[in-house]
Structure 1
Amino acid sequence: MIYIADKLMENIGAFSHRFRLIAERIQGGPQWLRFAMHSQTDSYMVGSELELLSLVQEGLHGTKLMLLADLNLLIDPLKLWTLPEDDLALIGTARREESVRDVLDQYGILNFAQLGKGIDFLRSFEIKDKPVFQVMNLADRLALYAIAIGGQEREASKKDLAIRKESCEFALQLCQTPKEFQALFRLYEAVCNKYSAKSRSARQKRAQLVWEDYNELCDGLVETVTLGKKYNPDDLDMEIKSALADLRQVGFSCKATAMLNLIRNTILKCEDQPQARKIVRDYMSAIFNLIAAGTVESASVGQDGVMRLTYASALIAPGGSATVEVNRLGLVTVASAVVENII
């Protein structure tokens, strides 16, 4: 027997059309649902259809990610859940290839061939075989893809290519994961944009100086708020605000992301003094207040199931915003924040 929010689901027709469209794409999903509904000895109780989809996928295959082999891609059920039913139905049939590709492009859903651009990027700088890139999940592949397509709006100059190569070298010295590589890569680029260092050695020295001077400042900025695996995506803002009320803190996923935001969004310079610490405190306080008291300006779900909420408040920070990410483990981290009126 299956219960959703205390309601007994007596047959497959009791589920929503959206649920059925996604469940049909889970290998073995429909068969298991029939078994569970007709079982007289086992009861399965969940809070929502979305929770049940995730449990069926993970229970049958040991991963939250669905492999849609005919479309050559991996995707989290949560991403599919956010799509309009007409587009879900089109993805379900996969018969009109061009139409399906248009739908996937519209919602930023990438297949393995497209994700391969990230690997091509690594290969172009001869770093594909580095240890940090040998075991990658979907989130890692998406991070590398984002680097690969960055700056493609114009043809790269010799200086652009030189800085990208230097960014790779800098990131590889410090990263432990592909996502951290992405943050460090962008940090080096941000340092080059902020400071007028023209030569390779000057840029490298400046980036190293930033890393060393900001390191201690960022010790307290790497914090995660945990909602738990059973957070409700439909009520995510309320759950985040409740968690912040208890913890009174919020932070970034890694030091590189914290430094990147400080470089991009504050007047902080390479200096470790009381004024620098005050800038960091004010910046983090503004971010906390934006999330704790602001309203959700936009929300989206990534292909890997990571939810992104962007907060804004005309009273707290006119023109400012803070974007948080919530992964499928319920970990909340700040992705970016602009609070120009405060810093």
Structure 2
Amino acid sequence: MPVPDSPPSLFPALTKHAILACQTSSWHPTFARIAMKTTVIRPLTAAFREYLLEDGVSIPEGSEDVPQASSLSDDDEEEIEEERDKNGNDGDSDDDLPPPKQHSFPELDAKIRQAIADYGAVFPKLNWTSPRDAVWILAPSSPLKCTSPSDVYLFLKSSDFVSHDLDPELVFACCEDIVEGEEDYDLELVLKKWYPVERSRELRCFVRQETLIGISQRDTNYYDFLNEVSTQASIRSAVVAFWETNIKGRWDGGGDYIFDILLTRDLSRAHIIDFNPYAPHTDPLLFTYPDLLALISTASTPAQESLPVLRVITSRAHPAAVRNAPANQHNMVPREALEMSAGRGVEEFREAWESEMRRASGVAGEEEK
């Protein structure tokens, strides 16, 4: 392991180059052979950025695989029109309100559908951030699994996390070399091939001053096999070999970075999931950044022989496991509520929701008879 050139600080000086290097479009061409299959669509249009920034959750027209037919008959629609004509459009009626803005992205829809055709299903993210806080939107057995453009849009619109990638001030917040007006970058949509993943084999790895210092279990559940001495030795050996063979010397973002990998079932090889900046907003998981600073501070001593340090959840009583409530539960709203809220004011949405609940209760009552 190399000896650090200077005493380390808690965080390295962060540059715009280091941030941009962590975009999938930046690193994936170099590491495609050992990364998940991925399609990057860029640049996204200003209209799509505007759509993501709008309040509320709406699905662009044409993005559903099965068009939703109107539930109104021709007679119903004629009756509604007659009632409107009878009442007129004076005063504070809903007709005076501007209609909700409709969006349509046919070219983007086509590219998403092509990726889905290529991979079977995809899970989405923007330049740096995935909508993992919206994982509850679809079935828990298939988190972030998208089989239509509308699924992709629903995840992105339901996520608080991805808003980070839409704001240049947030993206480059810690950079020391940003000049005002130079926070430009192209917004991109990343579609990775979706398949069931055993979360126990996901790891986050920390590199500081070109030294692999720490490895953390990513999922905060307890896994008994991860506490076996032989398993931990195999994991450390596999990660070190993978890093030294495939990443060290090839990473273009500087000597300080964090990368996520998925180990193969036999724990002998790995695939890259993502790269992250070595910065406060990247979760250190089972470490703290002072822990990691202490590790790099000992890298020039005999203690370096013990690097990288591997940390896993050691018991079901481990603090991280105890805290393992449903992630981002503050953001959980029933999907039906999201669909019904589109284009409605608060009072109108409340009435529609109560009507739906009465209808559902009536159906349930009929089924019980």
TM-score of the pair, normalised by structure 1: 0.26
Q: Which has the higher contact order (CA 8 A, sep 6+)?
A: 2
Larger radius of gyration: 2
Structure with the higher fraction of residues in helix conformation:
1
